[in-house]
């Protein structure tokens, strides 16, 4: 069984980005610049954004974190995005989700300049992805594709089962795996909470991507021998025995499933780290597209 280690792969990706950034700086050009906007004080969001800022610094990017209180008006947030769109020194803009219920996420996503949409959520980038055109790929699916490439996981002609149909992971993942790409060309089944024969579908999967946000949902009896398991789930589960009072769990019951499969991502230490790698790759691309 191969452990698909996000620490190893993300470090390799970041090293390449760091080298490319050093070349940029050696030419006395400004570094790529990512701006992250954080609304409120959600604990998980704080952790994610802090990690993104830290990783930007590690590869030589400039990063800016803009904070707003949770009671910020939608107009104020949209005005700030408009300002960043017009700032030529800003290459990538991300707004950390989720947002307060008083703010329409769709309006915020659509307000970001598609050429600075390094999260890959804008409808223009989503549409280009569907059509196989150059686009910013959502960071998590992008990171997963980078992982498949690093470990040379055979995908051509395989049956991939994607559990979860979100616009952030499930849908774009299904598109990428079915696309005519070096690590695509799968036959893809996209499942959701209403799929009545989900276990039977999973048992057909040569590759399973679990992205539904239910800790330990995928059990040993749902996967076939030798399958490749990509666990996207990251959920805080209360645990009084843990130092922090909680543990991070994935959507897959790792201990039991790992005995049966050919390759699997751990949680933590798997896809989460690759999401950051995908974001950094997108930010560098946004910079290069402008130069």
CB atoms inside a 10 Å sphere around CB 81: 23
Q: Check residue 69 and report its DSSP letter.
A: -
Catalytic residue (choose from 52, 80, 249, 281):
52
The whole-number pLDDT of residue 144 equals 98
Q: What is the pLDDT of residue 42?
A: 79
Report which of 106, 110, 172, 186 is spatially closest to residue 142, judged by C-alpha positions: 172
Mean pLDDT, all residues of the chain: 95
Count of Cβ atoms closer than 10 Å to residue 85 Cβ: 15
CATH for 139-272, among 3.30.70.141, 3.40.50.620, 3.40.50.720, 3.40.50.300?
3.40.50.720
Give the model's pLDDT for residue 43.
75
Active site residue 52: yes
Residues in Cβ contact with 6 at an 8 Å cutoff, skipping those fewer than 6 apart:
143, 147, 265, 266, 269, 270, 271, 272, 273, 274
What's the pLDDT tens digit per position in 179-221?
999 999 999 999 998 999 999 999 999 999 999 999 999 999 9
Q: Which residues contact 244 (CB under 8 A, 6 or more apart)?
A: none
Q: How far apart are CA 89 and CA 72, in angstroms?
A: 25
Do 28-113 and 139-272 agree at the fold level? yes
- What was the pLDDT predicted at 46? 84
Sheet containing 263-264: order of strands? 2-3, 263-264, 228-231, 207-210, 159-163, 187-191
Domain boundary assignment for the chain = 28-113, 139-272
Angle, helices 6-26 vs 139-150, to 10°: value is 100
The structure's pTM equals 0.95
Out of 14, 116, 117, 119, the active site residue is 119
Per-residue pLDDT tens digits for 75-113 = 999 999 999 999 999 999 999 999 999 999 999 999 999
Backbone phi and psi for residue 245, each to the nearest 5 degrees, phi listed first: 85, 0
Model pLDDT for residues 214-273, shown as the tens digit of each residue: 999 999 999 999 999 999 998 888 888 888 888 889 999 999 999 999 999 999 999 999
Residue 135 scores a pLDDT above 80: yes
DSSP output for 48-66: HHHHHHHHHHHHT-EEEEE
Q: How high is the pLDDT of residue 39?
A: 96
Joined together, the tokens standing for residue 279 give 């974001």
Q: What percent of the chain stands above pLDDT 70?
A: 100
Looking at 14, 91, 96, 281, which residue is catalytic?
96
pLDDT at 79: 98
Query: Alpha-carbon distance 278 to 286, whole Å?
Result: 12
Q: Which CATH architecture has domain 28-113?
A: 3-Layer(aba) Sandwich (3.40)
Tokens of 48: 């994610």
């Amino acid at each position: 069984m191969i452990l698909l280690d996000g620490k190893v792969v993300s470090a390799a990706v970041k090293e390449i980005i760091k080298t490319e950034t050093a070349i940029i700086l050696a030419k006395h050009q400004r570094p790529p610049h990512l701006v992250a906007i954080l609304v409120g004080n959600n604990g998980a969001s704080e952790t994610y954004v802090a990690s993104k800022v830290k990783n930007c610094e590690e590869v030589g990017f400039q990063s800016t974190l803009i904070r707003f209180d949770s009671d910020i008006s939608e107009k104020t947030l949209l005005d700030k995005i408009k300002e960043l769109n017009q700032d030529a020194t800003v290459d990538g803009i991300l707004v950390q989700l989720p947002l307060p219920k008083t703010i329409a996420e769709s309006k915020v996503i659509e307000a970001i300049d598609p050429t600075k949409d390094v999260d890959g959520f804008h409808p223009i980038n989503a549409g280009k992805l569907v059509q196989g055109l150059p686009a910013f790929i959502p960071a998590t699916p992008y990171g997963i594709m980078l992982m498949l490439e690093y470990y040379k996981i055979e995908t051509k002609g395989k049956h991939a089962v994607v559990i979860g149909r979100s616009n952030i992971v499930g849908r774009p993942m299904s598109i990428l795996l079915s696309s005519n790409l070096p690590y695509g060309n799968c036959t893809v089944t996209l499942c959701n909470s209403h799929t009545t024969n989900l276990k039977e579908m999973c048992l057909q999967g040569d590759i399973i991507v679990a992205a539904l946000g239910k800790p330990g949902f995928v059990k040993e009896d749902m996967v076939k021998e030798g399958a490749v398991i990509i666990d996207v789930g990251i959920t805080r589960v209360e645990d009084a025995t843990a130092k922090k009072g909680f543990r991070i769990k994935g959507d897959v019951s790792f201990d039991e499933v790992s005995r049966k499969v050919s390759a699997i991502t751990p949680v933590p230490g798997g896809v989460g780290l690759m999401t950051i790698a995908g974001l950094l790759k997108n930010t560098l691309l946004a910079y290069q597209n402008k130069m």
